[in-house]
Amino acid sequence: MRILVLGVYYANNLGDAVICDCVEHRLKKRFPHAEVVVRDLKARFEFPSLPYKTMQIMEKARKREFARHFVTSYLNWDKEKKQ
């Protein structure tokens, strides 16, 4: 017997993948000799990478943190130099 599980497995929301995994696990437990096949409703085969906008925000935050660290280090160095 073959059982097909349709869901939004490869979505940004990882909760959907967890639901599909739980359903697959329960079906395998209930029907041990059946082949359980999980398919994504949008025919995707992998999880999406981070959206481009999120990558840009992370890059800006990283640069801002680097600049903050550099300026703070310079100001502390300047204070130590004067003493």
**Domains of the chain by residue range:** 1-48, 49-83
Local confidence pLDDT in tens for the 83 residues of the chain: 999 999 888 877 778 888 989 999 999 999 999 999 999 887 877 776 666 667 777 788 888 887 777 777 766 665 555 55
Q: Using an 8 Å Cβ cutoff, are 63 and 30 in contact?
A: no
- Within 10 Å of residue 5's Cβ, how many Cβ atoms? 15
- For residue 31, CA distances in Å to 5, 11, 19, 34 come to 13, 27, 18, 5
pTM for the model stands at 0.54
8 A C-beta contact, residue 44 and residue 10: yes
